[in-house]
Amino acid sequence: MAVLTEEQTMLRDAAKGWTTDSAPVGALRKLRDARSGQSFDPAAWAEMGQMGWAGVIVPEEHSGSAFGYLGLGLVLEETGRTLAASPLLSTALIAASALNLAGTAAQKAAWLEKIALGEAVATLAVDEGAHHAPARTALAATKSGDGFTLTGVKTFVIDGEAADLLIVAARTSGKAGDTDGLTLFLVPGDAPGVTRTHLALADSRGAARITFETVSVGADAVLGEVDKGWAVLEPTLDRAYAGLAAEMLGTANAAFDITLDYLKTRTQFGQVIGAFQALQHRAAKLFTDLETTRSCVEAALEAIDAGGDTRALASLAKAKASEVLHLATNEMVQMHGGIGMTDAHDAGLYMKRARVAEALFGGAAFHRDRYARLQGF
């Protein structure tokens, strides 16, 4: 664990207390069984907003606390531990980042305070296929009068149905695959021509497919500069990678803790199964991976707070978090044996969230490829 300030420690302890008491794993199970199609419980999100967690990276003049990404990472890690479903990642981290990085005074004034207070849900609509590929954006934005018209499809948009604000990556020039020619637009979630469909994913949170049919926006909807959207999108995505990695680190650590507890209590052959060396070594290796992943996640968040090039560290964090969460949830089921395969046990909920989180914003292979390119090979 990074050396924390007193405020950071308080924030983490508050998050730990709240998720344990008010958003345990049972809350996600309840959300799933309600089959409401909601990606989170609005009442729980309202409480999180009241506690200030939606405004951790929002500047103070917009009612945030400006505690930084390491601070927000601590909250995400705690929500990851109990699989607490909320728009913390989509809204408080990703959308707030994009607005902070490139918003005009008017755009910031319109959205940041609402985000900080938990009164608005906002999300980034970037991917158009099942694999994360930001540069492959094809959704077309064509000039129309003073503004633009958007036509195309975005898919697997987290919290997309609930979103009041969509930050849409669109192509204003060039072709799919180019990083030049992209533009980000702020589009109200209920704008005419926007159709949202629920995609029920295994993690019980789901995502949205969003169709844009000649959606008209004004020139003031452009976030950043026309054709230069990559300059905002890439650092925003780095923040998404690091933030999601923090949440995944929490999920992996909780999966490990539950499993370790089981190794110490389940008896077979007249002894606790944790006395078997075959299991001990697997547990010790997993612990090693969890510790090195923590180093990467914290380093990425600290680097974002410090400014500068965060690309390699963000991809390192997301790749490592994907690998370790994959392993931790596999081991969770295997070491629990038959009980781990039952719906009554939480292991399945951890595994389902793990697989979705691994794929969201790029799996380990995507980030290894990006890391290698950044290192010049």
Partner 1 sequence: MADFGGTELDAFRAETRAWLEANYPPSLHAPMGEDDAPWGGRKMVWKNPDAKLWLDRMAERGWTAPMWPKDYGGGGLSKAENKVLEQELRRIKARPALMSFGVWMLGPVLLEYATDEQKKKFIPSIIRGETRWCQGYSEPGAGSDLAALQTKCEDKGDHYLINGQKVWTSYADQADWIFCLVRTDTSKKHEGISFVLFDMTTPGVEARPIKLISGSSPFCETFFDNVKVPKDQLVGKLNGGWDIAKRLLQYERQNISASGFGGGGGLDLVDVAKKEIGVDETGRLADGDLRARIAAHRMDAHAFALTVRRAEQESKTGNGPSAAVSIIKYAAAKMNQERHELMVEAMGLQGLGWEGEGFSKDELNVTRGMLRSKGNSIEGGTSEVNLNVVAKRVLGLLDHQ
**Residues near partner 1 (CB under 8 A):** 1-3, 260, 263-264, 271-272, 274-277, 280-281, 283-285, 287-288, 291-296, 298-299, 312, 316, 319-320, 365, 368-369, 371-373, 375-377
10 Å CB burial of residue 194 (0-12, 13-18, 19+) is buried
Closer Cβ to partner 1, 164 or 289, answer by number: 289
Report the nearest approach of partner 1 to the CB of residue 174 (Å). 17
Report the nearest approach of partner 1 to the CB of residue 292 (Å). 4
Report the nearest approach of partner 1 to the CB of residue 285 (Å). 7
The closest alpha carbon to 76, from 63, 85, 65, belongs to 85
Closer Cβ to partner 1, 120 or 286, answer by number: 286
> Three-state SS for 24?
coil
Q: Residue 80 is inside which H or E element, if any?
A: helix 69-81
Closer Cβ to partner 1, 49 or 71, answer by number: 71
If you write DSSP's letter for every residue of 165-224 in order, what string do you get? EEEEEEESSS-TT-STTEEEEEEETT-TTEEEEEE--TTSS-EEEEEEEEEEE-GGGEES
Residues 6+ apart with CB under 8 A from 135: 176, 177, 178, 179, 182, 230
3-state secondary structure 159-178: CCCCCCEEEEEEECCCCCCC
Backbone angles phi, psi at 28, to 5 degrees: -70, -40
Closer Cβ to partner 1, 294 or 352, answer by number: 294
Taking the C-alpha atoms of residue 200 and residue 203, their distance in angstroms, rounded to an integer, is 8
Closer Cβ to partner 1, 34 or 176, answer by number: 176
Report the nearest approach of partner 1 to the CB of residue 74 (Å). 15
> Three-state SS for 139?
coil
Report the nearest approach of partner 1 to the CB of residue 336 (Å). 16
Contact status, residue 170 vs residue 185, Cβ threshold 8 Å: yes
Report the nearest approach of partner 1 to the CB of residue 294 (Å). 8
Closer Cβ to partner 1, 170 or 273, answer by number: 273
Contact status, residue 154 vs residue 128, Cβ threshold 8 Å: yes
Closer Cβ to partner 1, 213 or 369, answer by number: 369
